[in-house]
Amino acid sequence: MLDQTTATITERTALKINPAKTCQPVGAMYAALGVHGCLPHSHGSQGCCAYHRSQLTRHFKEPIMASTSSFTEGSSVFGGMANLQQAISTIFEMYDPEIIAVHTTCLSETIGDDIPTIIGKCQIEGKVPEGKVIVHCNTPSYVGSHVTGFSNMVKGFVKYLATSTGRRSEAVNIIPGWVEPSDMAEIKRYAEAFRLAAIMLPDTSSVLDAPTTGEHSFYPKGGTTVAQIRAMGDARHTLALGAWASSAGAELLEKQCQVPHEVLDLPIGLAATDRFVSALAKLTGTAVPQAIEDERGRLVDVISDMHQYLGGKTVAIWGDPDQVIALTEFCRDMDMKPVHVLTGGHGQAFEARIKEILADSVPDANIKQQGDLFLMHQWIKNRPVDLMIGTTYGKFISRAEDIPLVRYGWPILDRVGHSYFASVGYTGGLRLATQIITAIQERQDRDAPDHAFELVL
């Protein structure tokens, strides 16, 4: 395993070991799956598409539908125009999607394929049936991360489809960020509790957590419709949840259709959910529903009751920037000490935000953007922690250092439940808090001598 990792930290500028991210096309594919009747299309080699589909399948335990341009050696030299044109014809003929969402790969980006020109040529030649749509985004794997790809695909939908008629509706757009299908359903539930007419893009609920009915549906019932995306241009406001995954789409909506926007943290935990709920109350001009107030009270109650297990516990956190920011704040609010905080994403704003959150409680925390899990392991070697929160890839550090791991984020490959049970909102925060408390209590039971092995903790 990783027992031989050294504690000596050296500066690495040209090498990542076990990076805390994956490549852009995965994020673009995930975002496209949140649009109803959409078939994601990977413009590149067959192997790229196969890898991205397999990662999504392993995380969600659901079959992932996507197509590929299947580049050969000839395509790699002369470009993929012919491949994409043939793919578009075949897809509409055989699979009949409402919309094709094309994203690029390293290979097609390096060649320099002009996707808008290819799409336009297909439309002129009648390869796109009436009423059908093609959108695209550029997602070179050698820059950014899966979160960047998610953001770029959302921008692609907005760019191609969102239009303003000049008549403002009462709708509010919500770009939920990279979260689970269950989280998207929970965000919609909050909007419904405030009687808010919301358009969410993307929306993977009832798509990647669809029930088994005995009948196969190539395009599940969920997802944002093309009509809804078009209507986003007439909305009165946009809430972008998570600066890294959602702000770019909201900014484009404002520039393209003059829809004002507001960027919030992902509503994970107490304080971030408070800000989200306050924004909903402000938009609707109504009081917070009592049911939502009660959910908050339950979360506060558990945090208060279990403080003896949480207070002062040190924790290492890694994952996507938007998720890690909210998780760090939540741990701080539970009086835990996030001493190692790392993301594979880019942007110095991440480090500044984490420092701001931990300024009073853990001013000496290790914080790194564009880090990797090798560095996280070295940090832990030098300063052991009581708990780790992050993706499945952390299980090797967990085993090597004998530290409990609460799995969170993308990807989780060796457990189930994350796509079915929300972690956003107050009830989601309650679930996350109980996972953290349970991990700490299980370790206490495991390590307790016989005389201290209590029935009731």
Residue 218 pLDDT exceeds 70: yes
**Do the domain assignments include residue 416?**
yes
Domain final position from 111, 128, 161: 161
Token pair belonging to 284 = 């609707």
**Do the domain assignments include residue 10?**
no
Let me know: does 321 contact 350? Beta carbons within 8 Å.
Answer: yes
Report the mean per-residue pLDDT for the chain: 95
**Do the domain assignments include residue 2?**
no
Residue 338 pLDDT exceeds 90: yes
My answer on whether 315 and 280 are in the same domain is no
Q: In the chain, pLDDT over 90 holds for what percent of residues?
A: 88
Query: Quick one: average pLDDT of 269-289?
Result: 98
pLDDT at 2: 64
pLDDT at 33: 98
My answer on whether 279 and 296 are in the same domain is no
pLDDT at 349: 95
My answer on whether 285 and 298 are in the same domain is no
Residue 78 pLDDT exceeds 90: no
**Do the domain assignments include residue 66?**
yes
My answer on whether 338 and 381 are in the same domain is yes
Note the pTM of the prediction, 2 decimals: 0.96
My answer on whether 128 and 185 are in the same domain is no
My answer on whether 98 and 231 are in the same domain is no
Q: Comparing 10-24, 171-185, 428-442, which segment has the lowest mean pLDDT?
A: 10-24
Buried/exposed 257-285: b ≥16 CB within 10 Å, e otherwise:
bebebeebbbbbbbbbbeebbebbbebbe
Query: Quick one: average pLDDT of 171-182?
Result: 98
We report the CATH number of the domain holding residue 264 as: 3.40.50.1980
pLDDT at 5: 84
CA distance 286 to 302: 28
For tokens 């938007």, what's the residue? Answer: 322
- Could you tell me the pLDDT band of residue 285, with boundaries at 50, 70 and 90? very high
Is the pLDDT higher at 5 or at 340? 340
- Could you tell me the pLDDT band of residue 80, with boundaries at 50, 70 and 90? confident
CA distance 446 to 439: 11
Q: Residue 318 belongs to what domain range?
A: 292-451
pLDDT at 328: 98
**Do the domain assignments include residue 415?**
yes
Residue 37 pLDDT exceeds 60: yes
Residue 167 pLDDT exceeds 90: yes
Please count the structural domains in the chain: 3
My answer on whether 191 and 132 are in the same domain is no
ω into residue 411 within 30 of 0, thus cis? yes
CA distance 255 to 131: 26
My answer on whether 300 and 447 are in the same domain is yes
Query: Quick one: average pLDDT of 354-365?
Result: 97
CA distance 443 to 136: 48
My answer on whether 122 and 234 are in the same domain is no
- Could you tell me the pLDDT band of residue 457, with boundaries at 50, 70 and 90? confident
Query: Quick one: average pLDDT of 394-423?
Result: 96
Query: Quick one: average pLDDT of 347-353?
Result: 92
Let me know: does 324 contact 355? Beta carbons within 8 Å.
Answer: no
Q: Comparing 64-68, 144-148, 347-351, which segment has the lowest mean pLDDT?
A: 347-351
pLDDT at 354: 98
Residue 107 pLDDT exceeds 90: no
22: left (phi > 0), else alpha (psi -120 to 50), else beta? Answer: beta
pLDDT at 38: 98
